[in-house]
Amino acid sequence: MIKLAGVSKTVMSGGQPLTILHPTDLDVARGRSVAIVGPSGSGKSTLLGLIAGLDAPTTGTIAIDGVEITTLGEDALAKLRGQKIGFVFQFFHLIGSLTAFENVLVPMELAGVREAEDRARQLLAEVGLSGRGHHYPSQLSGGEQQRVAVARALANDPPLLLADEPTGNLDSRNGQHVVDLLFEINRTRGTTLALVTHDRELAARAEMRIELRDGRVVARRGPGPLDGPHAGVAAEPIVR
Pick the stretch among 50-58, 184-192, 193-201, 226-234 that binds another protein (CB under 8 A).
50-58
Distances (CA, A) of 55 to 1, 46, 50: 18, 8, 5
Pick the stretch among 26-34, 152-160, 184-192, 214-222 that binds another protein (CB under 8 A).
152-160
How are strands ordered across the β-sheet holding 2-13? 16-28, 2-13, 59-64, 67-68
How are strands ordered across the β-sheet holding 216-221? 85-88, 160-164, 192-197, 33-37, 208-213, 216-221
> Which string of x and - marks every residue 89-118 that binds another protein (by CB under 8 A)?
x---xxxxxxx--x---xx-xxx-------
User: In residues, how long is the chain?
Assistant: 240
Q: Tell the smallest beta-carbon distance from residue 182 to another protein (Å).
A: 17
Residues of span 8-37 touching another protein by CB under 8 A: 10-12, 17
Pick the stretch among 150-158, 167-175, 181-189, 200-208 that binds another protein (CB under 8 A).
150-158
10 Å CB burial of residue 203 (0-12, 13-18, 19+) is buried
> Whose Cβ is closer to another protein: residue 93's or residue 205's?
93
From candidates 6, 22, 59, 157, binder to another protein by CB under 8 A: 59
Q: Tell the smallest beta-carbon distance from residue 125 to another protein (Å).
A: 20
From candidates 3, 30, 32, 81, binder to another protein by CB under 8 A: 81
Contact status: 73 vs another protein (CB under 8 A): yes
Q: Tell the smallest beta-carbon distance from residue 187 to another protein (Å).
A: 24
8 Å CB contact between 208 and 1: no
Residues whose CB is less than 8 angstroms from the CB of residue 224 and which lie 6 or more positions away in sequence, other chains included = 29, 32, 208, 232, 233, 234
Question: What is the contact surface with another protein in residues (CB under 8 A)?
Answer: 10-12, 17, 49, 52, 54-56, 58-59, 71, 73-75, 78-79, 81-83, 87, 89, 93-99, 102, 106-107, 109-111, 136, 138, 152, 155-156
